[in-house]
Amino acid sequence: MRKLKLHHVPMKHFREEQRRILQHLWNDNANRGRNTRLSLRAFAKQNGIPHATLLRELKRGMKGKIIFDEIKKQYFYPEYDAENAQANAHNKNAQKGTGMKFTIQHAKALQHHILKLKKSPAHARHDMIKEGHTNLPCLRAIYHHIDHGDIGILRGQTPYHPGTKRKPRPPVQRAKKCHGNLSIEDRPAQASQRQEFGHYEMDTVVSCVGGRGGLLILIERSTRNAFILRLSAITAKAVRNALRRILRCGTLKTVRSITTDNGCEFLDSKALARLFKDLNNTLKIYYTHAYAAWEKGSVENLNRHVRRFFPKGTDFNRVPPRNIAIMQDFINNIPRHHTLKGKTAHEAFCNAA
C-alpha cells in the first residue's frame, strides 16, 4: 500500500481515494502493540501529512474518541472509517451554501479593470464580455461580492456603489444674477426631459489652492457626450476662448441651449450666445438656482468621473492637454446601459448629430 504524501497546500483536501488509503494505514497502526504503534505526530511525519490536517481528518471519520489510559500510561486509538469521513465531509460542504459565481480568472480580470483602469463594475463587465469572458455573473452579483470583499475589491474602491446615502438637498433659492439672464424655470420641456438633441450643460472644475486655471466641461444632455478643455484661468475670457476651440473642430453642429450655474465666468450670456451665432441665432443660456447643483445633474455627474482621474488638489495648469484628451475619450466610451441602452456617449452623439 503506497503512502499518502499529502503535503500542506492551501485549499487541498482529502479525496475519497486518499481516505481509503488512510483507513488501511491508520487501522493497521492502531491495532499494533504498544512498542510498535506510532504516535500521531510520527504517523503524520511518516506519511507526509501535516499533523493538524491528520488530526482533523481522523476526528471526521473515527468510530470513537482517543482515550488515554492513566494506569498503563498509553493512548488507545479507535479505528478510522473512510465512508463515515466521506459522508461527514459531504454534509459540511452542503452547509456552506451556494459556491461563488466567480472564477479566479474572472476575479483577476475584474481587479485589473476596476483598480488599474479605473472602470466601474458595469463598464468592466461590458469590456470583459467583449474580451471573451464567459459565464460572468450579473452586475448585482458583482456588487454583492464586492460588499463581502471576497474577490479582491473592497467597497469604496469602485467609482460608484449603490446604496450610499445622499445628503438632503437644501431648499432652492433664487440666485442673484445679471439683469436679463434666463432662469432654468424658463427652459423648455424638450430640454428638461432630454427629448431633443442639442441642449447642453456647462461647468468648470477649478485647480487646487494656489494653482492656476482648471477645466471647462460641456456635455450634451440627451447623449451625455462631453467636451473637456483646459483653461488657463477661471475667467469669462478664458471660457469664451475654450468654446471657440471647440467650435473650430466642427463637432458642434446643433446647439439649442446651454444650462450653467451662476459663476462669474458665465454671467455674460450675450457674449456666450454670440459665439454660437453661426449655429443658432436663437441660442439661449439658462442659469440654475443658487446652491442647486442637481439642476444640471449631467455635468455634475461628469465631474465625478473627472475626479477619478484628477482628484482634488490637482493643479490643472501642470496637466498636459494630451492627458485631458485621453480622459475625455475614456468617459465618452463608457457603455451606458440604463440611459443609452448599452451604447456609449460617443456612439449616441455621432448618430444624433
Q: Please write the tens of the pLDDT for every residue from 38-81.
A: 888 888 888 888 888 888 888 888 888 877 777 777 777 888 99
Q: How far is CA 183 from the centre of its chain?
A: 37
* Closest to 102 measured CA to CA, from 137, 77, 71, 75: 137
Q: Is the confidence at residue 324, as pLDDT, over 90?
A: yes
pLDDT tens for 264-301 read: 999 899 999 999 988 888 899 999 988 888 899 999 99
DSSP string, 1-36: ---------TT----HHHHHHHHHHHHHHHTS-TTT
110 vs 105: CA distance, rounded Å: 9
pLDDT tens for 213-264 read: 999 999 999 999 999 999 999 999 999 999 999 999 888 889 999 999 988 9
* Domain spanning 16-95, CATH architecture: Orthogonal Bundle (1.10)
Q: Is the confidence at residue 26, as pLDDT, over 70?
A: yes
Q: Is the confidence at residue 332, as pLDDT, over 80?
A: yes
- What number is the average pLDDT over the span 195-207? 94
Domain 182-352 has CATH 3.30.420.10: yes
What do you get for the CA distance between the two ends of the chain, in Å? 78
110 vs 90: CA distance, rounded Å: 31
What global pTM score does this model have? 0.67
Confidence grade of residue 179 (pLDDT, cut at 50, 70, 90) = low
> What DSSP designation does 165 have?
P
Placement of cell 452547509 in the chain:
95
255 vs 347: CA distance, rounded Å: 18
Question: How is the chain split into domains, by residue range?
Answer: 16-95, 104-148, 182-352
9 vs 7: CA distance, rounded Å: 6
Note the pLDDT of residue 1: 43
C-alpha cell at 87: 459522508
Note the pLDDT of residue 8: 44
